[in-house]
Structure 1
Amino acid sequence: MDVIFRSVVGKLWMTIIALFALVLTVFSLLLVQSFDNFYHNRQTSNLQDLAIGLRDGLAQSEDKQSALELASRFGLVHHTGLVVVDEQKNIIGKSEGKPLPRIPVDQLLAEKGLKLTEAIEGKHPLPERFSLSLSEPDRNNPAARNGTLPILAVAVPLEISSGHKGAVVLYQTIEDFDDTLTEVRLLIFVVGVIAFTATTFFAFFLSSRITSPLRQMKETAHRIAEGDFHAEIPIRTTDEIGELAASLNTMATRLNQLVDALSKEKEQLASVLRSMVDGVVMIDGEGNVVVANPPAEHFLRDWRYEHPDEPFPLYGYYQQVVRGGYEVAEDIPVQGRIWSLVMVPLMDKEQIRGAVAVIRDMTRERKLDKMRNDFVANVSHELRTPLSMLQGYSEAIVDDMVATPEEHKELAQIIYDESVRMTKLVNELLSLARMEAGHVELFKERVELRPYLERIHRKFSNLAREQDISLSLEVTTPHQHADFDPDRMEQVLTNLIDNALRHTPSHGSVMIRARGEKVLWLEISDTGSGIPQEDLPFVFERFYKADKARTRGRAGGTGLGLAIAKNIIDAHGGTISVQSKLGEGTTFTISILVDTKTN
């Protein structure tokens, strides 16, 4: 029921019913009041004129008794009762009976509103209405069924005889007026029922015509709210409702276009964020991360692991941005990596509603900067030492400070060795520069593996024996031949074996192994000091020199050998990798594809 009253149909129906009830009530009151005034004035005027006429007739008649009887019969014709009283208000004549009901005349004469005394004194009071109480209800008279009788009475002065005054009292029952009002009320009730029924039907018919398109608009609006922006309202009329439907259809079309544009823009933004190397994080006004691309998620995961007590990531930097309203730039070490953070406030007019942070992994750059600095220091040191020796020994020879030919030959040998060392350093730098520029010349040929590896093994056997290191060769691959540049490959293996011997203590061992079926694996393993885990990702970088945890048995290298080796292997289309554990040794593995049909 409440649903009906809350609906447009119920509201319209109640409005029409209330308006009709108000109009009908006002009309009924005015109609009844009009009937009342009209009937009262007319009956009062008629009764007043009748009373005056009867008084004049009685006053002019010499036979009072005959005139009184005549007046009584005349009054009965007009449904009017008549009572004649003398100065002492004694009844000296009256007429009553059918069709008039029997009324208590004594009660009537005692009514103050009748103003009987004033009439006896010669005044002319106006007719008045009274309700007389009956001893028992009159079932035959509808007006007296409840034990009271409404009447209209008037008293007029009468000269009974010379010197004797009296009054004539005329009265009429007003049940006709009550019957008329009852009929009017019944008619109004019937009209009200008919009007209520017709109004209800009209209200529901009209409201259904109005609410049917409104319900369609409501259903379409729900579909639009649920994401169906292609929903359309059928336009059947050209009135205001039709215009409203057309406006809603236009709104839905434009909203669909706007949503499509926003979706495309969002997808483009998401694609841009996903493709960015730098991490992007957007933080709302409450400090919650609302947008983060994959690099940023990696950073935030490491940050939460390292800072589990913070309410949200980057809390301190976010507080600085919000309080100060300025950009914050900082390098942050997280889980062994260095991240460059730039956070700026996100403004909404004059209010800060969050912050945007751009995060970049600067670990590689910082490591490379350090390696460049180390390389410059190492090259400076490597060049300064032989140059100093060349200068010193050359001055000794020039100044004839050498006494014997043997000393002269020894100094010349030292000058020669240092010049060879400098030449090697310069050649390695030039070779690495050419390789990184893409100028790697390879002269591939079919090489027999076992003789080739045995030759390299013999090359380092004496050196290993001098250092008390076991150098062994193991060939388990079924391949007898491989296609590669023997000189370049020897350069790589020589560098790896030399490094292994230099970083393996006495009584240690170095293994040269060739294995694999579909792929040729060449391994150089040692039992030396190993490489720290944090240095493993960078051993093949240029300028890198992993000598922090390794001891040098002989003079150290320049840190370019492994970078040159990786470039050579890459040029062959192979790979080179390293596995190491500090204090347990290192294994370098080279993989090269071989042609299985020719083996």
Structure 2
Amino acid sequence: MDVIFRSVVGKLWMTIIALFALVLTIFSLLLVQSFDSFYSNRQTKNLQELAEGLSKGLAASADKREALEMASTFGLVHHTGMVVLDENSQVIGKSEGNGLPDIPVEQLLKDQALHLSEALAGKHPAPQRIYLQVASNNPNDHMSSVQMLAVAVPLEVAPGKQGAVVMYQAIEDFDDTVNEVRFLIFVVGVIAFVSTTVFAFFLSSRITIPLRQMKETAHRIAEGDFHAEVPIKTTDETGELAASFNTMASKLNQLVDALSKEKEQLASVLRSMVDGVVMIDVNGKIAVTNPPAERFLRDWEFEHKDEQVPLFAFYQQVVQTGQEVTEDIPVQGRIWALVMVPLNDREQIRGAVAVLRDITQERKLDKMRNDFVANVSHELRTPLSMLQGYSEAIVDDIATTPEEHKELAQIIYDESVRMTKLVNELLSLARMEAGHVELFQEIVELRPYLERIQRKFTNLARERGITLLLDVTTSHSEVYIDPDRMEQVLTNLIDNALRHTPSGGSVTIRARGDKTLLIEISDTGSGIPQEDLPFVFERFYKADKARTRGRVGGTGLGLAIARNIVEAHGGTIGVQSKLGEGTTFTIAMTVQAKNK
């Protein structure tokens, strides 16, 4: 029932019923009032004229008794009662059997509303409504109230003697008419209620059914079916509303398509960006990221496990200051440049956008440039200074004996050889980095090849008190490589391991792996600091920061050359190290099956 009253049909039905009831009530009141006024005035006027005429007739008649009989007959015809009074208010005549209720004359004459005294005084009062108690025809009821219309007019009963004529009529006919009108109004009301109900439900098919269709279509659009349309069956306002709704749905569909395309384009742009993008909402939660930002967040969460929301401290700073924040953030061995700017909604900050750029390579290039200049300067300056100094000693005859001359010449020769080696390695590295690596690959027996390299360093390891081990557990017995180039790589790695391993330590040459061949050079030496790990394969990297080397010291180009040689073979080289526990260099190569 509540659903019906809340519906359009129920509201329309209740509105029409209420409006009709109001109009019918006002109409009935006005109609009853009009009947009352019209009938009462008419009956009052007729009764007044009848009484006045009868009074004049009686006054002019010579035979009063005959005149009274005629008046009684006349009253019987008009259903009017009559009482004739003399000057002493004594009844001298009255009409009976006129169909009126049997009312006590004494009660009638004593009613103050009749104004009988005025009529006896010769005045003409207007007819009045009076209520009389009469005996009921029903023996169970004692008395009943009767409404009468009565009038008293003066009557000259004799010369010089003033009496009165009292005439009265029942007004039951008026009440019957009013009751009939009320019954008619009730019938009209019932008919109107039924008609209104039928009309309201008829309107529902004309008004509410299109509205329900619009509602269903709106639900379909809300669920994502933007091609839904409302069927147009009429050309009235409902049809125009349906057409407008379909136009709105079409425009909405176009707008959603445009937003979807724009979203896809934005997502494509975000995915293709090298820089990471993070959008933070007003609650400090991450709303949007792209792949580079996701990599940064994974590293951040791994390193900052206790912090619930990444970058939240920088977001708070942006919210407090309303200005952009720039910061370099080291995370897991990489350096990220952060720029975070606020997202303003009028005068309020509704979030922030952070742009993250991996500047590790840039910093690495800066370090490489600085190290290259410093190392080349150092590597060339030292032998040049020695060449200059010892040459001046020979020229100035500071060395007096042949042995001294020979020693100085040997030093000059060694330093020139070292400079030549440095220049050759620089040229070789430049060619490799330019992609000009010439390989002469062949099938090599793996174990004999590694055993030969081990024997090459056995004496050196024994002299330094270091254990040199070989461990071959791989299922590959042969490998397709350039043996000279790969020997250059392994020689450099083993030489570095021996130089950085103290006496009593060990260096292990290990070959393992099934699908991928892994060659590892492990030592138990001093290790490499974590901050230097990203740079070990760069030019002039040296573990000893003081750059103090003996005459057999390296140039710092060996690992850079080794990386280029391994990559030319289609492999990779990596390093794992922990300060004070040792270092492991790993060469990973995919074994290629080649025919001899």
Aligned to 2:9: 9
Aligned to 1:496: 493
Instruction: Identify unmatched segments of 5+ residues in structure 1.
Output: none
**Is 1:165 equivalent to 2:162 in the alignment?**
yes
Amino acid at match of 1:88: N
Superposition pairs of residues 14-33 of structure 1, within 5 angstroms: 14-33=14-33
Distance (Å, rounded) in 1 between the aligned partners of 2:309 and 2:519: 50
Aligned to 1:218: 215
Secondary structure at the aligned position of 1:433 is classed as: helix
Distance (Å, rounded) in 2 between the aligned partners of 1:185 and 1:549: 122
**Is 1:427 equivalent to 2:419 in the alignment?**
no
Distance (Å, rounded) in 1 between the aligned partners of 2:476 and 2:176: 133
Asked if the contact 1:151/1:172 (under 8 Å) is kept, the reply is: yes
Aligned to 2:91: 91
Q: Which moved more, 1:527-536 or 1:422-431?
A: 527-536
Aligned to 2:574: 577
Deviation, 1:293, is 2.6
Aligned to 2:270: 273
**Is 1:137 equivalent to 2:132 in the alignment?**
no
Asked if the contact 1:217/1:245 (under 8 Å) is kept, the reply is: yes
Q: 1:164/1:376 Cα in 2 relative to 1: closer, same or farther (>3 Å)? A: same
Amino acid at match of 1:395: E
Aligned to 1:75: 75
Q: Which moved more, 1:387-396 or 1:323-332?
A: 323-332
Asked if the contact 1:546/1:559 (under 8 Å) is kept, the reply is: no
Amino acid at match of 1:339: W
Aligned-residue Cα RMSD (Å) equals 3.0
Aligned to 1:63: 63
**Is 1:174 equivalent to 2:171 in the alignment?**
yes
Deviations 1:276-307 (A, max 9, x none): 33221212333332222343344445555666
Q: Which moved more, 1:68-77 or 1:260-269?
A: 260-269
Superposition pairs of residues 314-393 of structure 1, within 5 angstroms: 314-334=311-331, 336-393=333-390
Q: Which moved more, 1:512-521 or 1:160-169?
A: 512-521
Q: 1:549/1:62 Cα in 2 relative to 1: closer, same or farther (>3 Å)? A: farther
Distance (Å, rounded) in 1 between the aligned partners of 2:538 and 2:162: 150
Asked if the contact 1:372/1:543 (under 8 Å) is kept, the reply is: no
Q: 1:485 aligns with which of 455, 466, 482?
A: 482
Deviation, 1:113, is 2.0
Asked if the contact 2:466/2:505 (under 8 Å) is kept, the reply is: yes
Q: 1:472/1:4 Cα in 2 relative to 1: closer, same or farther (>3 Å)? A: closer
Deviation, 1:552, is 7.1
Q: 1:491/1:309 Cα in 2 relative to 1: closer, same or farther (>3 Å)? A: closer
Q: 1:554/1:500 Cα in 2 relative to 1: closer, same or farther (>3 Å)? A: farther
Aligned to 2:233: 236
Deviations 1:451-494 (A, max 9, x none): 65555445444433443444455667787764433332232222
Secondary structure at the aligned position of 1:32 is classed as: helix
Secondary structure at the aligned position of 1:344 is classed as: strand
Aligned to 2:414: 417
Q: TM-score, normalised by structure 2?
A: 0.91
Asked if the contact 2:75/2:82 (under 8 Å) is kept, the reply is: yes
Superposition pairs of residues 518-537 of structure 1, within 5 angstroms: 521-537=518-534
**Is 1:113 equivalent to 2:110 in the alignment?**
no
Amino acid at match of 2:160: G
Deviations 1:241-283 (A, max 9, x none): 0111111111112212211221222233223323333221212
Distance (Å, rounded) in 1 between the aligned partners of 2:516 and 2:79: 140
**Is 1:464 equivalent to 2:450 in the alignment?**
no
Q: 1:43/1:478 Cα in 2 relative to 1: closer, same or farther (>3 Å)? A: closer
Distance (Å, rounded) in 2 between the aligned partners of 1:307 and 1:474: 39
Distance (Å, rounded) in 2 between the aligned partners of 1:500 and 1:554: 18
Secondary structure at the aligned position of 1:147 is classed as: strand
Deviation, 1:590, is 3.3
Q: 2:224 aligns with which of 216, 227, 240?
A: 227
Deviations 1:201-251 (A, max 9, x none): 112212332111111111111221222222211111111101111111111
Secondary structure at the aligned position of 1:341 is classed as: strand
Distance (Å, rounded) in 1 between the aligned partners of 2:546 and 2:410: 33
Q: How many residues align?
A: 595
Q: 1:52/1:145 Cα in 2 relative to 1: closer, same or farther (>3 Å)? A: farther
Q: Identity of aligned pairs, percent?
A: 78
Distance (Å, rounded) in 2 between the aligned partners of 1:355 and 1:516: 48
Distance (Å, rounded) in 2 between the aligned partners of 1:534 and 1:323: 34
Q: 2:556 aligns with which of 543, 556, 559?
A: 559
Amino acid at match of 1:137: S
Q: 1:489/1:330 Cα in 2 relative to 1: closer, same or farther (>3 Å)? A: same
Distance (Å, rounded) in 2 between the aligned partners of 1:159 and 1:544: 155
Deviation, 1:513, is 5.1
Asked if the contact 2:443/2:594 (under 8 Å) is kept, the reply is: no
